[in-house]
């Protein structure tokens, strides 16, 4: 079989990442996370693109070095074209174009969301299990919440999605209300381990079909705490772990309940999760639980492939390479 070596670049938000894949095998995956945003409680787009500019050359260098390959072995450059922050995308897209042109190799544009889902096909060895089509994937990140039915690598049908906030956004906002720091997802996950998930009940909205809505949960959490703090100023501090465990259970419970219903209706017997929120320990164990209960095969990504990374862009790029699906040098990034 022909060996195809792809350098891939991801810069859609606040992680600068580069990876090298040989066919579907990962040779390297380097991620530089930007710490600068923590003090602002969220990603500052201007600072993100500036940090990408500083990081991109050393990150790509490290990816090539860690892979143990020479530049001349690279067959194509894959890059995230969108969606994401325009200024951030611009850095990765421009770099990929110049790199590809300098080496005289083709470019492959990748959609960030497809990349998250296709991360399940990255193999570390011959034994690495990969999903069989069709399968259902819950894509949950800071910007997206979708239940997708995959019939092939690039045939994804949206079975349901959020009508307002993304699940990760709701978790991050809950953390912000409690002044826990940014990004809130991993902090809530950690604190929740010490708390009682049944301590508080936050109402989940009734949304038709397979769709989700998270903005109401966030608002009821905010109002609930506002009332408690009025009576007891250090309320959050004293009940932090229970609050984290309860809001996490509310959001994850909602995600999993709708997912289970959608998968049952689809008749599909393989399920997966992808995106930053798939790093959540409760979501991971809940997926396992519904898998066992329904006799479904479950695919949970390794932590390094949950949040933004270039390896997932590389695997999506590899499948496009096999189809001869190359991008023109004039292609602009897209935010939405
Ligand atoms: O996929 P990602 O890195 O970026 C986007 O494409 O949005 O996802 C980031 C999101 C953030 O909302 C972050 O709080 C959430 O993933 N996240 C988590 C955990 N780790 C990251 N949420 C819950 N539990 C975690 N352990
Ligand atoms: Zn992402």
Between CA 54 and CA 327 the distance in angstroms is 26
Q: Are residues 153 and 225 in the same domain?
A: yes
**Phi and psi (nearest 5°) for 227?**
-65, -45
Judge residue 334's burial from the number of C-beta atoms within 10 Å of its C-beta, 0-12 exposed, 13-18 middle, 19 or more buried: middle
Task: State the residue range of the domain holding 171.
Answer: 135-267
> Which atom from ligand 1 is nearest to the alpha carbon of 190?
26
Closest residue by CA, ligand 1 atom 8: 276
Q: 209 with 141, same domain?
A: yes
pLDDT value at residue 4 = 98
**Ion ligand 2 residue ranges (Cβ < 5 Å):** 141, 308
CATH number, domain of 180, equals 3.30.420.40
Nearest to 270 by CA among 154, 125, 133: 133
Contact 63, 95 (CB under 8 A): no
Per-residue pLDDT tens digits of the chain, which is 336 residues long:
789 999 999 999 889 999 999 999 999 999 998 888 888 888 889 899 999 999 999 999 999 999 999 999 999 999 999 999 999 999 999 999 999 999 999 999 999 999 999 999 999 888 889 999 999 999 999 999 999 999 999 999 999 999 999 999 999 999 999 999 988 999 999 999 999 999 999 989 999 999 999 999 999 999 999 999 999 999 999 999 999 999 999 999 999 999 999 999 999 999 999 999 999 999 999 999 999 999 999 999 999 999 999 999 999 999 999 999 999 999 999 988
Q: What is the pLDDT of residues 182-195, one digit of tens each?
A: 889 999 999 999 99
What CA–CA distances, in Å, run from 336 to 12, 64, 184, 313? 11, 30, 24, 17
- Residue 183 CA to ligand 1 centre (angstroms): 7
d(CA 109, CA 107): 7
Asked whether 195 lines ligand 1 (CB < 6 A), one says no
Please tell me the distance between residue 41's alpha carbon and the centre of ligand 2 in angstroms: 18
Count of beta carbons in the 10 Å neighbourhood of residue 67: 22
Work out how many domains the chain is built from and give that number: 2
Cβ of 142 less than 6 Å from ligand 1: yes
**Cβ 14 under 6 angstroms from ligand 1:** no
Q: Is the bond preceding 83 in cis, omega lying within 30 degrees of 0?
A: yes
pTM: 0.95
Looking at the DSSP bridge assignments, the partners of residue 8 are 19, 78
User: Cα dihedral angle (87, 89, 95, 98), rounded to 10 degrees?
Assistant: -100
- Give me the pLDDT at residue 336, please: 86
Residue 294 belongs to a domain: no
Spacing, Cα 277 to ligand 1 middle (Å) = 4
Whether residue 150 is found in the same domain as residue 65: no
Q: Is the CB of 160 under 6 A from ligand 1?
A: no
- Cβ pair 235, 225 in contact under 8 A: yes
């Amino acid at each position: 079989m022909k060996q195809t070596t792809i350098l891939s670049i991801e810069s859609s938000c606040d992680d600068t990442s580069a990876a090298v894949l040989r066919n579907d095998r990962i040779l390297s995956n380097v991620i530089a996370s930007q710490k600068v945003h923590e003090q602002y409680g969220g990603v500052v787009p201007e600072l993100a693109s500036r940090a990408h500019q500083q990081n991109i050359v050393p990150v790509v260098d490290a990816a090539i070095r860690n892979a143990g390959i020479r530049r001349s072995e690279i067959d194509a450059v894959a890059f995230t074209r969108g969606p994401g922050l325009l200024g951030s995308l611009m850095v990765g897209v421009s770099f990929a174009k110049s790199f590809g042109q300098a080496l005289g190799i083709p470019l492959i544009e990748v959609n960030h969301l497809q990349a998250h889902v296709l991360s399940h096909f990255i193999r570390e060895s011959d034994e690495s299990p990969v999903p069989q089509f069709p399968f259902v994937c819950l894509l949950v990140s800071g910007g997206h919440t979708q239940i997708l039915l995959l019939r092939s690598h690039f045939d994804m049908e949206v079975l349901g999605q959020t009508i307002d906030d993304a699940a990760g956004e709701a978790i991050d906002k809950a953390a912000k209300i409690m002044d826990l720091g940014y990004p809130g997802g991993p902090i809530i996950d950690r604190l929740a381990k010490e708390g009682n998930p049944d301590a508080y009940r936050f109402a989940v909205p009734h949304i038709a079909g397979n769709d989700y809505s998270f903005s109401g949960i966030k608002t009821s959490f905010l109002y609930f705490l506002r009332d408690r703090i009025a009576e007891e100023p250090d309320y959050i501090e004293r009940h932090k772990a229970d609050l984290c465990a309860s809001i996490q259970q509310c959001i994850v419970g909602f995600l999993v309940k709708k997912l289970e219903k959608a998968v049952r209706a689809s008749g599909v017997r393989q399920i997966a999760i992808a995106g930053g929120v798939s790093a959540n320990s409760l979501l991971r164990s809940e997926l396992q639980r519904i898998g066992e209960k329904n006799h479904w095969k479950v695919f949970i990504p390794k932590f390094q492939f949950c949040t933004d990374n270039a390896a997932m862009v590389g695997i999506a790029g590899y499948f496009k390479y096999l189809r001869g699906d190359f991008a023109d040098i004039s292609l602009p990034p897209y935010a939405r």
